[in-house]
Chains A and B, each alone.
Chain A
Amino acid sequence: MTRSFVAKLAPWLFVGPAVLSVVVFLYGPILASAGLSVVDWNLLSPQVDFVGLNNYRSLLANTDFQLSAWNTFLYCVILVPAQIVLPLLFAVMIHAVRGSRMERVYRGSLFLPTILAYSVAGVAWSRLLNPINGLFNEVLVFFGFGPSRWHTDPDLALLCVCLVTFWKSFGLNMLLWIAALANVPDTLREAARLDGAGPWRRFFSIELPLISPTAFFISVTTVFSVLDDIVGVVDVLTGGGPAGRSSNLLYFLWQQGLQFFQFGPASAVAMVSIAIVLAITCAQFWFGEKRVHYQ
């Protein structure tokens, strides 16, 4: 083997396993889902009926699907900004006490919920929110307020899921923000301070532009995680209820596929979800990448 041949082959050997796994475990299933979405098949029967776009048509007419799609939009509107801005706020505050003994305590305690399993978080929160005798209601009653039905109230269920999801997963973004802030050279902050820039000015004119690559990364990944992370909380806390008020597209997909074993409609939901995520991600790249400042 010549050295040039090895040099040409080496990159393929390095990326080969990763590419193979992406093809087998990502693109393969997407293609399979696309195929399943246009057939009526139970995976066992030798009979596979081609139904064209019927699964998509019946999906669009399904009021539970419509409600799940609307809920997904609400989850994104509430949780994506919250998962980006509030962790940044925490990160800025922790950065302000960097080097002190309390930095680790704050960072560790705020990150702690992230390492819990969703099922554990859901069970713990269902105890706290129990409308009959949960801790939250006990506190409300103690202060003279009436008890709330929390996640069993159709008007509050979605917000309760948002609260638990946020509590469970904001820690990762917070760590990313902390790391980004730590990479901003102190000399720049110091120079700005000497030039008379106040804390707000230093943050918006120095730090934010320099951490914009992280901001872009977080904004893209948070959309995925908001769509995905909610499923675990919904399953344990509300089961999609009451009357579908806290369901989202992926929970609806899970129900169709793994509760009802309707693989055609489930695959159609998957394809619709992929299309939505793709559109959002493209929009983020189109709008966001121009505003990212790489050093």
Chain B
Amino acid sequence: MVEISRRGLLAGSAAVAAATVVGARPALSSDATIEISSIWGPDKPFQKVVDAFNALKTGVTVTNRFDGDYETATAKALAGIAAGKPPAMMTTGWKFGYYARRTLGARDLNEIDSEKAASIIANFVPSLMPLVTIDGAVIGLPWAMSTPITFINSALWQEAGLDANLPDYPDTDWLYEAARKLDAALKGKHATYRSALALSNNEWTSQSFIQNAGGYIIDPDGKLALNSAEAVRGMELFCQPAHEGLWTPVSGKEQDAAFESGALAICTTSSTRAASFPFGAAKAITARFPGIPGQARKMNSGGNFLAVYARNDEQAKASLAFLEFCASAEGQKIWSEVGYLNTSVHDIPLINDFMKPAAGQLQDGLTAETIWPGKRGLEGQTIWRKWVSRMLMKEVDVQAGLKGAHDELAAVLQDA
């Protein structure tokens, strides 16, 4: 048995303690825990991105806090910022761009660390960066972007005797004629078929129609442009199937449910449905969103970005570390499971063939969804939707509806 003297024990203990101190990893300046207020729960691919990042043990630990939809998350962030406890980052809808920058104070990535920001931004297609640049500040990455495309129930399509070879660039003439043929062949005769078409009664499909007709909701100079002849033509074509009885406007959830159950034959909606529609039942094929005959297409997109709200420099830099991972090929690959478009320069394979038309639209060029400016800008979307509903219901004709929308929006956006 080895005898240990008191002196030996002390010397040994001191040696062990010294070795521990010397050998220990020095505290990293980037050691931090950041909380992200997000619209995705733990069952969504965003959590996988967070988990993959945390597994790298970079010294930054990310917590994903599910805060509901954009509005709820924004309200919580507002309360947090007012109380001096902002979330480090928040999933911010593009439509909140001005509000995020001007009111909530979303940080310019370049201002946090210009060198790192430049290396992160280099991972994305340069032409898309203006979509996340507000007032000259880069407040996010264009990493959650989708665009409306056309989903077709191939079984119903086939039963109506329509050609399964879809055109690369469908237009409204082709689509509406197909809808009429579907109704003629199947309405009242088919067990599940109930309606031919749904264009989605939301702001971005109507915006696409106006833009595809050569008009704007808000022109490149930032002025409301709903009174133009092009806007009237776009909206007339948008409302036409509803007025003809080919389209029964319902909520997005009801529309999805009808499409999934085989009651609805054609549905133009977000390309993210390519990941979420149960295609086994719907047996879908996809095509680009319908253009307008004789007009150049100018499709829009929608989505969100991760904006940094941390006031604390350490938290802000830790947020950049996470964004760096999000922008990497590894992060993008995990992220692509959501069904968003690959906006990065990395070669990420499409999650399925349904995404091809969306990827095609991205290559054709996409504009951003309308970001309503001004202090009351967030009311803009609701006002526009209200007038679109009135036009679809024929409460007002398209010309009067656009004038009504223009006047009401002009009053709300007067300080923009």
Contacts and interface: CB of A to CB of B under 8 A. Distances in A.
A242 B389 CA distance: 6
A68 to B, nearest CB: 12
Interface stretch (B70-78, B175-183, B272-280, B324-332): B70-78
B414 interface: no
A42 B261 contact: no
Interface residues of A, number: 27
B386 A132 contact: no
A127 B251 CA distance: 11
Most buried by B among A133, A149, A152, A262: A133
Interface in A127-163: 127, 130-133, 147, 149, 152, 154
B71 A258 contact: yes
A245 to B, nearest CB: 9
A255 interface: yes
A232 interface: no
Contacts of B185: none
Nearest to B262: A133
Interface in B187-211: 192, 194-195, 198
A261 B74 contact: yes
B16 interface: no
Contacts of B249: 152, 242
B71 A259 contact: yes
Given A259-B71, A262-B379, A154 B395 contact: yes
A260 interface: yes
Most buried by A among B255, B389, B395: B389
A126 interface: yes
Contact of B75 (A132, A258, A262): A258
A53 to B, nearest CB: 18
Given A133-B194, A243-B393, A152 B250 contact: yes
Contact of A154 (B81, B104, B393): B393
Contact of A261 (B103, B251, B393): B103
Interface string B71-104: 1101100100110000000000000000100011
A127 B71 contact: no
Nearest to B193: A133
B194 to A, nearest CB: 5
A126 B253 contact: yes
A44 B105 contact: yes
Interface in B364-409: 375-376, 378-379, 382, 385-387, 389-390, 393, 395
Nearest to A126: B254
Nearest to A64: B386
B263 A131 contact: no
A75 to B, nearest CB: 20
Contacts of A45: 103
Interface in A280-295: none
Contact of A130 (B72, B82, B254, B382): B254
B78 A44 contact: yes
Contact of A132 (B104, B105, B250, B379): B250
Contacts of A244: 386
B125 interface: no
A133 B196 CA distance: 12
A33 to B, nearest CB: 16
A91 B105 CA distance: 56
Contacts of A43: 78, 82
Nearest to A138: B194
Given A126-B253, A149-B248, A261-B99, A133 B263 contact: yes
Contacts of B104: 44
A147 B195 CA distance: 11
Interface in A244-275: 244, 255, 258-262
A139 B75 CA distance: 42
Nearest to A153: B393
Given A126-B251, A262-B376, A132 B258 contact: yes
B184 interface: no
B258 A260 contact: no
17 contacts: A123-B253, A126-B253, A130-B257, A131-B250, A131-B254, A132-B263, A133-B195, A133-B261, A133-B264, A154-B395, A258-B75, A259-B378, A260-B376, A260-B379, A261-B75, A261-B99, A261-B378
Interface of B: 71-72, 74-75, 78, 81-82, 99, 103-105, 192, 194-195, 198, 248-251, 253-255, 257-258, 261, 263-264, 375-376, 378-379, 382, 385-387, 389-390, 393, 395
Q: Lowest 5 A-B CB distances belong to which pairs?
A: A133-B263, A132-B258, A243-B389, A260-B378, A133-B194
